[in-house]
Amino acid sequence: MKLDKESLKGKLVFLGTAGARYVAFGFERQAGGLYFGFPSVNVHVDPGPGAFVHAHRKGIEPHWTDVVILSHRHLDHCADVNHVLESMTLGGKRKRGLLLCPSDCITVDPVVLEYTRKNIEKTEIIKEGAERELSTDLTVSFPLKHIHGVETYGVVFRWKGTVYSYVSDTKFFDALIEAYRGSDLLILNTTLLKPNPKIDHLSAEDSERIIAEVKPKLAVLTHFGRTMLSAKPWEVALSISERTGVKVIAAYDNMILDLETLSVVRQR
């Protein structure tokens, strides 16, 4: 199913489901991030490598984007940020758009060029606990700094009484549960099958713990590394679902979710 400006409204598109280096840069899955088509504002979260092209192929023109959010500076989350910002301003012709990112995305060895930042309307630095309005019916907040080597935040949208949370890359720690409590939709970057103390990513077991406590209406696993892909993410999701009683699904590339019904839109 190809989207257009109208059918994008009220949809969330998974432009990528690849996690970490091997799967993202080995091209085993796409890594284009999450595209939220809120009716008032289009938000592109974590435009990793290929985001620009994957969006276009799905019928989403990158210049429709109003807000770009980077959860952190790892390249599988931001490799295409400059393309997306450049497109948003039509190559600097229209000064518009907002970038929200941690400070280390634009300071030392910046992943967002000074050149592209000059062309957009505003860059705001994400801090733990920050919240801001994106439109009259939509807010975004960053409840918690994650543990992931570089400065990393999860993202929470509140739109028409519904809470949409994106738990970006992180090692498991208890505060995650409180930070994302109350979520209706809980998207979890579940990179590992089993916990590995040396790697700062959630495993399927960690995600299950969070899901069991938070009890969202729908949990979506994404950002898969190799161990998750070999274990068939949809089977892992089903078993978590059976144990927790929460509806859990595994995202696939270009999956579309209806933001009002929290159901997967059937692809033609």
The least CB distance from residue 74 to Zn ion, in Å, is 3
Dmax of the chain from CA atoms? Answer: 53
Work out whether 169 is an interface residue with Zn ion (CB under 5 A).
yes
Work out whether 151 is an interface residue with Zn ion (CB under 5 A).
no
Work out whether 146 is an interface residue with Zn ion (CB under 5 A).
no
b/e per residue 91-123 (b: at least 16 CB within 10 A): eeeeeebbbbbbebbbeeeebbeeebbebbeeb
Query: Interacting stretch for Zn ion, rule CB under 5 A, among 70-78, 92-100, 220-228, 240-248?
Result: 70-78
The least CB distance from residue 72 to Zn ion, in Å, is 6
List C-alpha distances in Å: 205 to 192, 209, 244.
9, 6, 12
Query: Interacting stretch for Zn ion, rule CB under 5 A, among 6-14, 136-144, 168-176, 182-190?
Result: 168-176
List C-alpha distances in Å: 89 to 62, 70, 92, 184.
10, 18, 5, 33
Which of 73, 74, 146, 209 forms a contact with Zn ion (CB under 5 A)? 74
Work out whether 73 is an interface residue with Zn ion (CB under 5 A).
no
Strand partners, 167: 188
Residues in contact with Zn ion, total (CB under 5 A)?
2
The least CB distance from residue 223 to Zn ion, in Å, is 9
Chain residues that interact with Zn ion, rule: CB under 5 A: 74, 169
